[in-house]
Amino acid sequence: MTRGIIAWGGYLPRLRLERSAIAATHAWMAPSLKGLAKGRRAYCSWDEDAVTMAVEAARACLGDRDRRSLTKLQLASTTVPFADLQSSAIVAAALRLNHQIQAMDIGGSHRAGLATLSAALRDSAGETLVIASERLGARPASTQEMQYGAGAAAFLLGEKNIAAELIGSASATSLLVDHFRAAGVAHDYFWEERWVRDEGYSKIGGAAVKRALADAGVAGPKVTHFVFPAPIRGVSEAVAKVAGIAPTAVASALDADGGFTGAAHSLLMLANVLDCAAPNDVIVAVGFGQGSDVIVLRATEAIVTARPARTIADGQAHGVSVSAYGQMASFYGEIDLEWGMRAERDTKTALTEQYRSADQVIGFVAGQCGSCGQIQFPQLTYCVSCHASASGFAQVPLAEQNSKVLTYTADSLMYYPAPPLYIGFVQFDNGARLLMEFVDVTADTFDVGKRLRMRFRIKEKDVTRGYIRYFWKAAPVD
Amino acid sequence: MATGIKDKVAIIGMGCSRFGERWDLGTDGLLAEAFDEALTDAGIGRKQIDAAWTGSCFDRINVGNSAIPAATSLRLDGIPVSRMENMCATGTEALRGAAYAVAAGAVDIALAIGSEKLKDTGYGGLPVQTKGTFNDLWLAMGSAPAGFAQLAAGYRSRHNISKEDLKRAIAHVSWKSHQNGVKSPKAHLRKAVPMDTILNAPMIAEPLGLFDCCGVSDGAAAAIVTTPEIARALGKKDLVTIKAVQLSISSGIESTTNQWDGSYVRNTRNAAAKAYKEAGITEPREQLSLIEVHDCFSITELVTMEDLYLSKEGRAVNDVLDGFYDAEGQVPCQIDGGLKCFGHPVGASGLRMIYEVYNQLLGRAGERQLPDVNMGLTHNLGGVPYLGIAAIAILGRMN
C-alpha cells in the first residue's frame, strides 16, 4: 500500500535578530564572528517554545481538515521543555485531537525529525501527524549563536490523496559525535567543523543517500530537490557531489533569514521544497546525527492543490527585525535581568484544576447555550445570558474563529517578560468574548477594530517548580 | 415588602486617620487613630458598640483574614465582629453591614471601620496577586491601571473622540483633584500640579500616565451608626442619615458576552439607578450637592459621570472641561482630593468618602466647605470595569 505525505505546514517565529547585532556585541572578544554576520536569525519570543511552535506548524498543516481521523501524533525535538511530561500530549490537547490517539515524543539528536518522518512513512499505517520542532540554545559568542534559528514543521501522512509518495529510503547508524549536549544543559559542544564535514556529513551522509537512491531506483542526476540540513555552509553541496546530485537541486538552507533548527530542520527545508514542487519532482531529504536517515519522495499530481494556505516563504517574509541583542539573551535565559519586586509571584498550578479544564482551556473551546444560543468562554455551570444549565451546551472551538479588538491598552506596570503587555478584549464574530494578551503587535497600527487570529503560547512559567502552562493569545492578522 | 434603608440609619460619629505613607504606624495604630476620633465624635465609649464590621482587602501584607486582627487591635471583646472584603469597594461594604444590623433592630449601635497598610508592600503600586480571584489558567493578567485603561479605548471608539481630546479631559480630572487636595489636611498629596506635567507624565498603561493613576496610601476610616431614635436619645440634633446603599456585581455579562461595548461601567449604572430610587432622587444633576467617586484612574472618574446619570452619553468630556465637576462647579466631585490626592488605602476608601460627605452635611469641612449641602453621593468600585463591584451610598439630612 502506497503511503505518503497528504499535507504539510511550518512555523517560523516572527522575531529576527540582526546577525550584525550579535557580532557587534561580541566584537571585543570574538571579532571573527563578523564573517557570519549577514542576514537575520529567527528566535523565539519569551512565550514560545518547541511545544507552541509544534502546535502552530500543525495548525498550518491541518488547515480546516476534520482532525478526528488522526490516529497517531509524533513530536520530534531535542528541546521540548520536559524530560518527563509528554509534550505531544500538550500538542494533542491544543489541537483538540481525539483522546484515543497514540502520541509519542522522540528526541536524541538533530536526526530525530527526519527519522520520525521516515519511520512513520515506512513502518506505519493510518493518518499520522509528524511534527518536528526546535528551539536551540547557544552559548553567547559561539558560532552556533549566529547559525541557529527556531521553527517547526508538520506533516500529515496517510494512504489517500497523497501529494508526495515514499519511493525509497535508507538508514545508517554510526557513533560519530559531531556535537553533543548533556541532558539539562543549555548549550552544544561542537568538534572541528572541517572534520564533521569530511568524516561525518560527506562520508556517512553521502553513503546513506546513495543507498536510498538505489532503493528508490533513481539515479542522482534525476533528483529535483536535495534537502540536506547542516548549520555549516557548503555541506549540502559537498554531499550532493558525493551522491551525484546536481548542485542546482540543493534546497535552500533557510539560513539567510531564519537559521538552523536542529531536529526540525530537515522537515522545515522539506516543507519549503514541497511549497514549490511540481508533479513528478523527485525529492531526497536527509537527517543527520550519529548516522543518517534518508527518504526519497516523488510528488504526485496532487502536490499543487495540497499546498498550505501559508507557506514557509510567507513565514519568512513576516519576520520583524530586532537589533537589541539583550532581548534574545534575556528570552533564552543567557542573562538574568533585574525585573523588580513585581516579578516575585508564585505561579503554582493546581494540576487537578488544570486537568478538569484541559479540554476547554488548552483546546480553547467555548460552549453554545442550547436555550439562548450565546457562545461563551469560559463554560461555567450556568449560561451567562439565560442561566440555563451548561449540560445543554454545544462545544464551539475558538482557535480558528474570526475576531477583532474590542478594547486594549499597553500595560507598562505589570511584570511582563516583553514589556509592555498588550491586553484587552477580543470580540469573536460569533459573539464570544474574553480578555486576552495580544502578541506580535506593531504599536502604530494596533487599535480598536483590528482583526485578529489566535496563537498558542506559553501563558506562565513557574520557575520555582519548573512547570509551564499554556494558553491562547491573539495576534493581529497581517 | 422591603422598604429600603432610607432614613433608618443615622451616622453619629466618624473618624479618619491621616492618609499617606504612614511609616510611623502599622494597621493597629491606623485603626486606632480612626476609631478614637469616631468615638469622640459620637460621644460614646467602646463598650456601647454592639457589633462591628471591619474592612480590609489585602490579607497577605498587613491585617490578615478574619475579624481577629481588627478585634484585637481595637479591643472589641466578646461582640460580633465581621471582616468584609469586596476589593476596592470594601469600605462601603463595611458600612452596609453595620447599617443593616442597626436597621434590622438586631443591634443598637454598630461600628464600620476600614483600613489598609499598602506601604508594607515594598514598592509603589498594589501588591502583586498570585492565585487569586481570577482564573489565571486562561485569563490575561494585567495591572489595575490596565484593567481601567481599556475604558479609554472603548469610550473614544464609541463616542468618536480623538485620543488627544480624551487625554486633555482626563488630565483635567486629575488637575482638579490636585487643586482640591491643597485644602485637605488629612490628604496624602497636597500639591497642585500643572496640566503640562500631567499631560507629559510617563506612561503607565496607555493612555494613563503617572498622574492619571491614584497612588497607594496607608489609612483607616470609621463610622458609628445607630437608629435616628437612639441618636436623638444620645443628644444628637442635626442627623445625618443614610438615604441609600446599593451594590451591583458582575456576573459575566461584560466579560463573556457581546452585550457590553467597553465604554462604561455597567455595575455603576445598575447601582446608581437602584440608589436613586431608594433615596427618592429623580434629578441627580440638580439634587446632589457633592459627589465622591472612585477615581482610581482619571478615565474611571470621567465615565462615572455618565454612569451616575449626571452627564449625558458622550458628554462627560465637555462637562469635565467646562468645570461642571470642579470645586466651583455645579456638582463638585472629589472636593477632598479623591482617591487621587486623599489616597486609596483600599479597605478604608469607601468610608473616607462617607467621612467627607458627613462633614460637609454638618458644616465641618473647613476650607473645603460647600454652600447649601443637602445630599451627597459616594461611589466605590472594586475589581475592574468588566469583572467588578460598584457600591453607591447616598447621605443626607433626616427628614
Q: What are the residue boundaries of the structural domains of chain B, listed by start?
A: 10-120+218-240, 145-210+242-397
Contact A414 B141 (CB under 8 A): yes
Q: Which of A349, A357, A414 sits opposite B146 (nearest CB)?
A: A414
Query: What is the distance between the alpha carbons of residues A378 and A420, in angstroms, rounded to a whole number?
Result: 26
Residue A382 resides in a domain: no
Contacts of B206 in chain A (CB under 8 A): 409-410, 412, 420
- Residues whose CB falls within 8 Å of the CB of residue A336, separated by 6 or more in sequence, listed in order: none
Q: Which three cell numbers, joined as nine digits, stand for A203?
A: 562520508
* Number of structural domains found in chain A: 2
Contacts of B135 in chain A (CB under 8 A): 378
Name residues 327-356 of chain A within 8 A of B (Cβ): 340-342, 344-350, 353-354
Query: Which CATH number covers residue A56?
Result: 3.40.47.10
Q: List the end-to-end C-alpha distance of chain A, in Å, as a whole number.
A: 42
- A1 has a pLDDT exceeding 80: no
Contacts of B139 in chain A (CB under 8 A): 434-435
Give, as one character, the DSSP assignment of residue A178: S
Residue A383 resides in a domain: no
Same domain, A133 and A233: yes
- B60 has a pLDDT exceeding 70: no
Contact B206 A420 (CB under 8 A): yes
Query: Which CATH number covers residue A427?
Result: 2.40.50
Nearest-neighbour CA in chain A from B255: distance (Å): 6
Nearest-neighbour CA in chain A from B233: distance (Å): 49
Nearest to A243 by CA among A202, A215, A282, A273: A202
Query: What is the distance between the alpha carbons of residues B181 and A86, in angstroms, rounded to a whole number?
Result: 59
What digits encode the pLDDT tens for the residues B153-173? Answer: 999 999 999 999 999 999 999
Name residues 418-437 of chain A within 8 A of B (Cβ): 420-421, 423-425, 427, 431-437
Q: Which three cell numbers, joined as nine digits, stand for B139?
A: 485569563
Query: What is the distance between the alpha carbons of residues A18 and A7, in angstroms, rounded to a whole number?
Result: 32
Nearest-neighbour CA in chain A from B150: distance (Å): 5
Query: What is the distance between the alpha carbons of residues A430 and B197, in angstroms, rounded to a whole number?
Result: 44
CA dihedral sign, ordered A196, A202, A203, A206: positive
Among A85-89, B26-30, B154-158, the least confident range: B26-30
Our answer to whether residue B296 is catalytic in this structure is no
Q: Which chain B residue has the Cα nearest residue A342?
A: B128
Q: Which chain A residue has the Cα nearest residue B202?
A: A412
Q: Report how many helices (DSSP H) and strands (DSSP E) chain B contains, helices first.
A: 14, 11
B10-120+218-240 homologous superfamily:
Thiolase/Chalcone synthase (3.40.47.10)
**Mean pLDDT estimate for chain B:** 96
Our answer to whether residue B344 is catalytic in this structure is yes
Query: What is the distance between the alpha carbons of residues A185 and A190, in angstroms, rounded to a whole number?
Result: 14
Contact A406 B145 (CB under 8 A): no
Nearest to A407 by CA among B381, B388, B258: B258
Q: Which three cell numbers, joined as nine digits, stand for B281?
A: 432622587
Task: Place B62 in a pLDDT band, splitting at 50, 70 and 90.
Answer: low
ipTM of this complex? 0.91
Amino acid at A344: E
Nearest-neighbour CA in chain A from B398: distance (Å): 41
Same domain, A84 and A203: yes
Task: Place B282 in a pLDDT band, splitting at 50, 70 and 90.
Answer: very high
Residue A232 resides in a domain: yes
| Mean pLDDT across B211-237 | 96
Query: What is the distance between the alpha carbons of residues A44 and A252, in angstroms, rounded to a whole number?
Result: 21
- B148 has a pLDDT exceeding 80: yes
Contact A412 B152 (CB under 8 A): no
Residue A336 resides in a domain: no
Q: Which chain B residue has the Cα nearest residue A416?
A: B142
Same domain, A233 and A136: yes
Q: Which of A357, A361, A414 sits opposite B143 (nearest CB)?
A: A414
Nearest to B54 by CA among B7, B86, B6: B86
Nearest to A243 by CA among A278, A199, A212: A212
What digits encode the pLDDT tens for the residues A341-377? Answer: 999 988 888 899 999 999 999 999 999 999 999 999 9
Q: Which of A345, A346, A384 sits opposite B257 (nearest CB)?
A: A384
Amino acid at A27: A
Residue A385 resides in a domain: no
What digits encode the pLDDT tens for the residues A437-463? Answer: 999 999 999 999 999 999 999 999 999
Same domain, A308 and A425: no
- Residues whose CB falls within 8 Å of the CB of residue B141, separated by 6 or more in sequence, listed in order: A414, B129, B134
Question: Which residue is catalytic, options B16, B88, B333, B341?
Answer: B88
Is A402 an 8 Å CB contact of chain B?
A: no
- Rounded to whole angstroms, what are the CA distances from A175 to A65, A109, A201? 41, 12, 13
b/e B113-122 (16+ beta carbons within 10 angstroms → b): bbbbbbbebe
Is A378 an 8 Å CB contact of chain B?
A: yes
Nearest-neighbour CA in chain B from A435: distance (Å): 6
Amino acid at A54: A
Q: Which of B130, B143, B253 sits opposite A413 (nearest CB)?
A: B143
Give, as one character, the DSSP assignment of residue A364: T
Task: Place B59 in a pLDDT band, splitting at 50, 70 and 90.
Answer: low
| Mean pLDDT across B185-212 | 98
- Point out which residues pair with B53 in neighbouring strands: B82, B112
pLDDT of residue B399: 72
Q: Which CATH number fits domain B145-210+242-397: 3.30.2350.10, 3.40.50.720, 3.40.47.10, 3.30.360.10?
A: 3.40.47.10
Residue A269 resides in a domain: yes
- Residues whose CB falls within 8 Å of the CB of residue B13, separated by 6 or more in sequence, listed in order: B38, B39, B40, B41, B42, B43, B44, B223, B224
Contacts of A354 in chain B (CB under 8 A): 137
Residue pair A148/A43 in contact (Cβ under 8 Å)? The answer is no
Compute the C-alpha angle A140/A141/A146, nearest 5°. 95
| Residue pointed to by grid coordinates 509524533 | A74
Query: What is the distance between the alpha carbons of residues B326 and B335, in angstroms, rounded to a whole number?
Result: 8
- B131 has a pLDDT exceeding 80: no
Fold equal for B10-120+218-240 and B145-210+242-397: yes
Residue pair B250/B370 in contact (Cβ under 8 Å)? The answer is no
pLDDT of residue B15: 98
What digits encode the pLDDT tens for the residues A37-63? Answer: 999 999 999 999 999 999 999 999 999
Q: Which chain A residue has the Cα nearest residue B263?
A: A407
Query: What is the distance between the alpha carbons of residues B237 and A202, in angstroms, rounded to a whole number?
Result: 102
Question: CB count, 10 Å around CB of A284?
Answer: 28
Nearest-neighbour CA in chain A from B300: distance (Å): 14
Which residue range forms the structural domain that includes residue A411?
341-364+399-476
Contacts of B208 in chain A (CB under 8 A): 409
- Rounded to 5 degrees, φ, ψ at B356 are -70, -45
Contacts of A409 in chain B (CB under 8 A): 142, 145-146, 149-150, 152-153, 205-208
Contact A433 B256 (CB under 8 A): yes
Cα B195 to chain centroid, rounded: 25
Give, as one character, the DSSP assignment of residue B213: B
pLDDT of residue B132: 65
pLDDT of residue B182: 98
Nearest-neighbour CA in chain A from B294: distance (Å): 20
| Mean pLDDT across B57-64 | 72
Q: What is the DSSP string of A31-77?
A: GGGGGG-SSEEE---TT--HHHHHHHHHHHHHTT--GGG--EEEEE-
Same domain, A324 and A405: no
| Residue A10, helix vs strand vs coil | strand
With an 8 Å Cβ cutoff, the interface of chain B facing chain A consists of 121-123, 125, 128-131, 135-143, 145-146, 149-154, 157, 203-208, 251-253, 255-259, 261-262, 386
Same domain, A313 and A357: no
What digits encode the pLDDT tens for the residues A382-421? Answer: 999 999 999 999 999 999 999 999 999 999 999 999 999 9
- Residues whose CB falls within 8 Å of the CB of residue B55, separated by 6 or more in sequence, listed in order: B83, B84, B85, B90, B91, B93, B94, B112, B113, B114, B115, B347, B348, B350, B351
Residue pair B367/B337 in contact (Cβ under 8 Å)? The answer is no
Same domain, A78 and A130: yes
- A245 has a pLDDT exceeding 90: yes
**Cis ω on the peptide bond leading into residue A420 (within 30° of 0)?**
yes
| Mean pLDDT across B108-116 | 97
From A310, A331, A352, the end of a domain falls on A331
Q: What is the DSSP string of B277-340?
A: HHHT-S-HHHH-SEEE---SBHHHHHHHHHHTTSS-TT-HHHHHHHTTTSTTSSS-B-TT-HHH
| Residue pointed to by grid coordinates 481601567 | B148
Task: Place A285 in a pLDDT band, splitting at 50, 70 and 90.
Answer: very high
Q: Which long-range contacts (CB under 8 A, 24 or more apart) does A444-448 make?
A: A445/A476, A446/A405, A446/A408, A446/A422, A446/A476, A447/A405, A447/A408, A447/B153, A448/A405, A448/A406, A448/A407, A448/A408, A448/B153, A448/B154, A448/B157
